[in-house]
């Protein structure tokens, strides 16, 4: 069984980590969603994800915005990555439980590090007319989250 590492080196006792491996979700949507919650308080990150799942808040697409329409409430291109938000919420819950296991206060947790890397590709073939076949390639994603406990004065 392989062991997985993090692209972030732990720097203290007041940090908790969690990761999701080989997630079947859009890499581009996950990158934009992680950009939106990075640096936010944990409760605020949960609120953002809940609003995305309920289609009340669009996530601005800053890098992967080719062909993405403009949305109300943001200046520029955006989407509602519901599937990515549901999976990210599970990973955040896991990181929160890891933090509580280390006796960290959940009310003072912030998202210190949030990153996505490309995982393996699932290659399949889609049958077409006249006996041909087109490749169907699905990109998997690795996600890692690091939460840090900050004191009230550090905000």
In a domain, 87, yes or no: yes
pLDDT of residue 155: 56
In a domain, 145, yes or no: yes
pLDDT of residue 132: 98
Beta strand residue intervals within the chain, DSSP E = 15-23, 59-60, 78-79, 109-127, 133-149
Return the closest-CA partner of residue 27 out of 96, 87, 89.
87
Q: For residue 9, what are the contacts with CB-CB under 8 A and spacing of at least 6?
A: none
In tens digits, the chain (155 residues) has pLDDT values of 678 889 998 888 999 999 999 999 999 999 999 999 999 999 999 999 999 999 999 999 999 999 999 999 899 999 999 999 999 999 999 999 999 999 999 999 999 999 999 999 999 999 999 999 999 999 999 999 999 999 876 55
pLDDT of residue 64: 95
Helix (H) or strand (E) holding 109: strand 109-127
pLDDT of residue 10: 83
Q: Say how many CA atoms lie within 13 Å of 98 toward its Cβ.
A: 17
Task: Find the CATH number of the domain harbouring 105.
Answer: 3.90.470.10
Unique residue bearing structure tokens 């007319």: 129
In a domain, 5, yes or no: no
User: How far apart (Å, rounded) are the C-alpha atoms in residues 19 and 139?
Assistant: 17
Range of the domain at 58: 16-154
pTM of the model: 0.91
Burial 61-99, CB ≥16 within 10 A → b, else e = beeebeebeebeeeeebbbbbeebbebbbebbebbbebb
Structurally, the chain folds into a number of domains equal to: 1
In a domain, 3, yes or no: no
> Do 16 and 147 form a contact (C-beta atoms < 8 A)?
yes
Beta bridge partners of 72: none
In a domain, 126, yes or no: yes
Longest dimension (CA), the chain: 68
In a domain, 6, yes or no: no
């Amino acid at each position: 069984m392989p062991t997985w590492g993090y692209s972030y080196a732990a720097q203290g006792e007041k940090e908790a980590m969690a990761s999701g491996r080989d997630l079947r979700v859009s890499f581009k949507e996950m990158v934009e969603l992680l950009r939106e919650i990075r640096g936010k308080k944990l409760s605020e990150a949960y609120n953002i994800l809940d609003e995305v799942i309920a289609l009340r808040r669009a996530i601005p697409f800053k890098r992967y915005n080719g062909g993405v329409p403009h949305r109300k409430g943001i200046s520029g291109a955006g989407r509602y990555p519901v599937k990515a938000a549901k999976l990210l919420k599970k990973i955040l819950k896991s990181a929160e439980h890891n933090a509580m296991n280390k006796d960290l206060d959940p009310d003072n947790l912030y998202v210190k590090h949030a990153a996505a890397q490309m995982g393996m590709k699932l290659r399949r073939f889609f049958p077409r007319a006249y006996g041909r076949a087109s490749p169907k390639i699905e990109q998997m994603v690795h996600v890692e989250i690091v939460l840090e406990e900050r004191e009230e004065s550090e905000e």
